[in-house]
Structure 1
């Protein structure tokens, strides 16, 4: 009896070669250990969660969320442990049915096959145009009715001014005299209150103003050219952070005190003539 076709014949073994490669998970685990890395360190560097790293090293890809994510995790972990990810991806495709065939793009519609829908009449635009025409006609009629009377005579109006002759020369107009400067910088200041006006001339200055009862009237920066006016029934207390550029009027009169730049001044003013506090 011939044993050439026996199931135990070595010739049949050639059709089923044994795959002596390590599994994907074992290859990644051995490479991680050889690199001296822990699972936590690999998770921190790849942002792949620790349970998923453990599952992949045990060849459990169910926690990856699908083949696309599994391939991405394998590629990321392989690079983290200094492995070439290409053979591992090929091994994964061979063990899990290969990559899915790409979905063909949807056919494009030809322009001539698309039939445009019949355009409906725009009744709204037609009504608006009709209303505008009626309003314009009524307005034109009323305008002409006001200008023309029953017998067609033009409505009387003011007589036109006579034209100036070429020989007549216009008289020069003298400029109005400038009003004499007043000692008061603030017109008609109330006599029953204390009024303080501050103006920053050529530099900024920080100022703080309070009423007699401690109420804060202003606390901030006064820029060049800006002015602030404060009033109180009894007293206004001032703090000037940079008193040099400040021009000060109290109760309508300019304070003649000369302040220096960068100088801090604490001032208080009441009714009557300005007095430095």
Structure 2
């Protein structure tokens, strides 16, 4: 038993690390770190750290495995083999996730509470007082039998009454009344968990992490949203208020882009 463990340890120490294998494959494929990052949507600092076999920037074992799979497929390697090597090197235990990357997306979407505008409130109060005073004076002047000019506005012609408006039927979409000047995407993990990466205009990272089964997240941008789904079949996708059927299959990595004019893919 001890001899087998020693042989296994020697075998691990003699083989190239996961990061070294990925780096060599990228070099053989003629890709730069920037090109690989653009293809996989994995940030440049994370790619560089992984190639140095440093997975602390990934945010934990689940994220590290998802990154390894994306990078391996992009450079023509078998992702399952590298993930198995990663698990063997790290004894199958996930690494602790640093707090900052996990809450980075929340800082982007969080808005500061609005402060009360006392100037506007005071102006509205003054207008209300002046209007009430004018209404009172006009009312006093109409006691001699003459009709004030504003009375014609108060009386409505019954024959011209507006027909009752029909209430809109409830939509089966998960996103109600998506604004026309933005692209709105909602992701729901219906059939399992999936690693996701969400970028806005100019490649701005909106979110990167694992969406667990039963959870959902909504993202919006004024121009464009790019998605990478690590397990596309587990995700139900809604774009600009409409259900999309092109998210992909279970275990498939899917890359999608949407703009204000969709639900068709951009």
Greater share of residues in helix: 2
The structure whose RCO (Cα within 8 Å, separation 6+) is larger is 2
Which TM-score applies when normalising by structure 1?
0.34
Bigger Cα Rg: 1
